Amino acid sequence: MSSINNTKSFHLISSQKVSFTFDGKKITGFKGDTIASALLRNNINLVGRSFKYHRPRGIYTCGIEEPNALVQIISEHNEPNARATVKRIYEGMIVESQNRWPSLKMDIGAVNNLLSPIFSAGFYYKTFMGPKGFWKKIYEPIIRKTAGLGKPPKEFRSKSTHHHHNVDVVIVGGGISGLIAALKFIDTNYDVLIIEQDSFLGGTLNNSKKIKEINGLDTIEWIKKTEDLISKSKNIKILKDTTVSSYNYSNHLIALEDKAVGSLPPNYKPELVLHKIRTQHTILANGYIERILSFRNNDLPGVMLAGSFEKFIHRYGVVPETNPIIFTNNSSTFSLLKSLVELNCKPSAYVDNREENSIEKSTLDYLKNNNILFYTGAEVEGCDGRNIIREAFIRHKGNIIKLKTNMLCVSGGINPDVNLFTQSKGLIKWDDNLFTFKPENAFQNTIVIGSASGNFNFQKLNDEIKNKLNFLKGVNDTKIEIISNVENDYNISEIWDIKPEKESLWSKSFIDIQNDVTVKDLRQAITEGFDRIEHLKRFTTNSMGTDQGKISSINSLGIVSKILNKSVEEVGTTIYRPPFAPLSFSAIAGRNTYEFYDPKRKTPIHSWHIDNNAVFEDVGQWKRPWYFKNKKGETMHQAVQRESKQLRESAGILDGSTLGKIEVKGKDALEFMNLMYTNAFTKMKPMTSRYVLMLGEDGMIKDDGIVSKINDQHFIATTTTGGAPKVLADMEEYAQTEWPNLEVYMNSITEQFSTFNISGPKSRAIMRKVFSNIDFSNEKFPFMTFNNFKYLDTEVRIMRASFTGELGYEIYIPPKYALELWKKIFHSGKNLGLVPYGTETMHLLRAEKGYIVVGQDTDGTVTPIDLNLNWMIGKNKKDFIGKRSLSRFDTAREDRKQLVGILPLDKNKKILEGQHILEINKLPKKVETPIEYLGHVTSSYHSPNLKHFVAMALVKGGKKLMGKKVYVSDPSKSETIPVEIVNPVFLDPKNKRLLS
């Protein structure tokens, strides 16, 4: 085989040389070349190994529909499955072939081809059923190694952004139809966006010489002139290198722009741009796709679609082979024949499936005049070769004629690219003359023009577009005169697959080249009962590759219709789903990565925490100190034991600024709060606080916190750190949807106040030192009261409350003053043993006291009654959210899981969270029947103050089991730990410390 440069049609290629590497080998092409055109220019046709059978594969097409020539682009963050027929080369580009090992020419996985009888349709489902454990350990690793396409990149690296457009008209496709449509909008009041997948306009005009001239101009001149006119029109914008990948409801289109075309963009610029487009009208001018024919070994390198072969000649100036065989069933291939002859490259044979009387006279005359060997009413039965086609077998009038060749150009007809139209939920209709689906009824404001609508006749194009856009007011009239080089009417004979002359393990007739699905697989699947097209697709994986079967999905419908003896519209199509072409995840992510996706929220004290060796814990988006490392080498356990002990001996301070805070105001605030929470607020005195619970309508605990009542019209509620947004949203929802008659307003004030919790026996002394003018005595400042005080030029709210069980205070201060006050408290507490503590110590201390944490001791299936919190329920209230559910038969059951304390009988034993509570003391060696369990441990900590583990658990009917001996499982042993069920308040049950 010998490729030559087509110097006659060199318009899209510059003479500037560009080199890149393919599998480590240096390849030189021209600027403007795609990887595929550069490889063909260098006589390289073997570019990959197939998905399942590892068969050698070459370049099959010249565009976005490519099933075979998929490569990995190492220089673009290892982007896998890039189409070599689309991606343009640049200096220094590094490209590798995929799915071959150890090398492309010598591939060990190719043995799969000889094992193909076991790889038939549904083989994954049938073969890997057992024995147990084999899938994970044996089958999956082997399949992963030998099947598949490119390797996923190890790191997320590529940079992309999102652009938004709001326009009146989108024209998808800047080919001849799209350009004629665009001319209608020049200098009108419409905002127009033209989206072109190539780096240049003109579409099929660049692919062939089917059209001689438009309006007296050579086609290339006409494209230039038209682009110039469009560019000067201020209301029209052109996006090139941009592919529309989805067409969603409400005329919403997603398009991907590749910025790494012809060169890598500079480091500070995006490599991919995802365009999100809203439009009033969508004009689909996205053209047609040529399809294959299924015959024996139609996947061999050297077999190429005829239209693509011609595209290489005219777009890239490379003639992949000087004397190919052409095999067609339609009139579109004539221009390839002509293009070759005009370059003095004579096809070695022209095989037309149509009978002589159906073939255009001009074609027959041309073949005869140029003395080209041709067969009519004939077909290529198959071809042979190893890494490249060597001979083709032509069936003509019952004879098989063997011809030597290096390339075979195939055309199975063309069909409108209906992918986007069907994504938009439009209806398509089968055309019995063109043997294809055509757009029929649009569901949205969609106008389909040109070959995308099934109009393959250039002469009718201008009238078609005129008629279809007429309803838009103020569009321009266009006069387009087209002189063709070929017959205007498209003509085709029906043929889908060709019966093979001989059978062997090697000989396969493919329907989906990318996924290695054969015609035989389709037949077998139908025999096995998968005769519905959606079932058939999944069972055989037909058209499920990255190319979505663009060149063959219609063929499979044709083949299936023949097997089932039904019409194609009865067979129907599978749903066309977005994306039309593969969409990189990084493009979808855009700028929403890392801190832009998940911001880190820090309290005003954050810098102090860092200076004091805090180890942080993520609570929602917040960074909270988990514990403070006192000295080098201190472990978390040591730190938490130290903090917990010191707090109960002297005092500790916690940064509680992340707590959610919601302000509720209004004439009916009291009634609203009574409905939202279980607690009764009516008799509560102003300037006092209460521990509160919020339930769902199902009676389960949703959140807890402290509500402070300033007066009946003004409350401040705290929420858990993670629950704040949801609690506010729920309040708003009920206020608007259920009780619109209540005059009440709510607002998040989480970030308006920093919060510190100071607790421990010395906390009163420290507070007195910091706020010397405030009386902190029990009489003047009792438990669960609060007040506002002047502080510098602002106000602080101080509340007597505690989550540790010790005497404690909560300080609320505007964040601007927070760090300064925090430092002042430290300075004052230094000699009194004040210790900073983190969330882990907070959890330990509250567990000693038997206080629950929502989300740890509850899980959405726990009622206040289950937690012995009956005292928090305002029983005299007529209603509150979830009240009725508390008396439902299921919530009122006495054997529900209830909160209890767990005390190990052997005080040295360790109890782990999440472990099961069991009635039996020993687990059997081999578990044969499920072991009944009573519940699970929700919280467990080693108490430095009690010197043993304290744990809480949810246990079936736990309230009645006080004092009973049960067992806790241990994940490392079959031994269980004997424990006693006790009251969960382990420390200070009489609240002496709390109220001191």
Q: Which stretches of the chain bind other proteins, using CB under 8 A?
A: 248-250, 252, 276, 278, 422-423, 425-430, 437, 440-441, 443, 567, 569-570, 572-573, 575-576, 697-698, 729, 732-733, 736-738, 740, 878-879, 883-885, 888-889
Helix (H) or strand (E) holding 568: helix 568-571
Q: Which residue, 377 or 578, has its beta carbon nearer to other proteins?
A: 578
Q: Which residue, 162 or 964, has its beta carbon nearer to other proteins?
A: 162
| Nearest distance in Å: CB 721, other proteins | 20
| Nearest distance in Å: CB 885, other proteins | 6
Give CA torsion, residues 675, 680, 683, 687, to 10 deg. -90
| Nearest distance in Å: CB 889, other proteins | 6
Q: Which residue, 537 or 764, has its beta carbon nearer to other proteins?
A: 537
**Any residues with CB less than 8 A from the CB of 987 and at least 6 apart, and which?**
805, 848, 849, 943, 945, 946, 993
Query: Among all chains, which residue has been given the structure tokens 């031994």?
Result: 975
Q: Which residue, 552 or 755, has its beta carbon nearer to other proteins?
A: 552
**Any residues with CB less than 8 A from the CB of 601 and at least 6 apart, and which?**
620, 621, 622, 623, 658
Candidates 652, 655, 634; CA nearest to 644 is: 652
Q: Which residue, 732 or 970, has its beta carbon nearer to other proteins?
A: 732
Candidates 560, 472, 422; CA nearest to 121 is: 560
Q: Which residue, 249 or 596, has its beta carbon nearer to other proteins?
A: 249
Handedness of CA 865, 867, 868, 872 (dihedral sign): negative
Sort strands 70-73 and 79-83 into parallel, antiparallel or unpaired.
antiparallel
Q: Which residue, 274 or 801, has its beta carbon nearer to other proteins?
A: 274
Whole-angstrom distance, CA of residue 775 vs CA of residue 570: 88
Q: Which residue, 729 or 946, has its beta carbon nearer to other proteins?
A: 729
Whole-angstrom distance, CA of residue 891 vs CA of residue 301: 70
| Nearest distance in Å: CB 568, other proteins | 8
Q: Which residue, 213 or 698, has its beta carbon nearer to other proteins?
A: 698
Q: Which residue, 17 or 884, has its beta carbon nearer to other proteins?
A: 884
| Nearest distance in Å: CB 425, other proteins | 4
Whole-angstrom distance, CA of residue 983 vs CA of residue 962: 7
Helix (H) or strand (E) holding 664: strand 660-665
CA-to-CA separations, 440 to 10, 398, 555, 866, in angstroms, rounded: 39, 41, 20, 62
Whole-angstrom distance, CA of residue 329 vs CA of residue 350: 11
Q: Where are the alpha helices (DSSP H) in 677-812?
A: 724-737, 763-770
Q: Which residue, 62 or 571, has its beta carbon nearer to other proteins?
A: 571
| Nearest distance in Å: CB 571, other proteins | 9
| Nearest distance in Å: CB 707, other proteins | 22
DSSP string, 831-857: GGTEEE--HHHHHHHHHHHT---TTTT
| Nearest distance in Å: CB 429, other proteins | 4
| Nearest distance in Å: CB 588, other proteins | 13
Q: Which residue, 256 or 359, has its beta carbon nearer to other proteins?
A: 256
> What does the buried/exposed string (b/e) look like for 929-951 if buried means 16 or more CB atoms within 10 Å of the residue's CB?
eeeeebbbbbbbbbbbbeebbbb
Amino acid identity for residue 911 in this structure: I
CA-to-CA separations, 890 to 686, 698, 885, 887, in angstroms, rounded: 38, 11, 9, 8
| Nearest distance in Å: CB 445, other proteins | 13
Q: Where are the alpha helices (DSSP H) in 625-752?
A: 636-649, 669-676, 724-737
Whole-angstrom distance, CA of residue 793 vs CA of residue 806: 31
> What does the buried/exposed string (b/e) look like for 955-975 if buried means 16 or more CB atoms within 10 Å of the residue's CB?
bbebbebeeeebbbbbeeeee
Whole-angstrom distance, CA of residue 866 vs CA of residue 858: 10
| CA-derived radius of gyration, the chain | 38
Candidates 468, 425, 475, 423; CA nearest to 450 is: 468
| Nearest distance in Å: CB 753, other proteins | 22
Q: Which residue, 278 or 823, has its beta carbon nearer to other proteins?
A: 278
| Nearest distance in Å: CB 723, other proteins | 16
Strands (E), 729-824: 745-748, 754-759, 786-791, 794-800, 808-813
| Nearest distance in Å: CB 662, other proteins | 13
| Nearest distance in Å: CB 298, other proteins | 27
Q: How many residues does the chain have?
A: 996
| Nearest distance in Å: CB 737, other proteins | 5
Amino acid identity for residue 439 in this structure: P
| DSSP designation for 294 | B
Query: Under a CB-based contact definition with an 8 Å cutoff, are residues 724 and 910 in contact?
Result: no
Candidates 644, 654, 599; CA nearest to 621 is: 599
Q: Which residue, 557 or 981, has its beta carbon nearer to other proteins?
A: 557
Query: Under a CB-based contact definition with an 8 Å cutoff, are residues 226 and 269 in contact?
Result: no
Q: Which residue, 712 or 732, has its beta carbon nearer to other proteins?
A: 732
| Nearest distance in Å: CB 867, other proteins | 20
| Nearest distance in Å: CB 532, other proteins | 12
| Nearest distance in Å: CB 565, other proteins | 16
DSSP string, 163-226: EEEEEEEEEE--BHHHHHHHHTTTTSS--EEEE-SSSSSBGGGGT-SSEEEETTEEHHHHHHHH
Whole-angstrom distance, CA of residue 846 vs CA of residue 852: 7
Whole-angstrom distance, CA of residue 191 vs CA of residue 234: 9
CA-to-CA separations, 854 to 412, 694, 940, in angstroms, rounded: 65, 11, 15
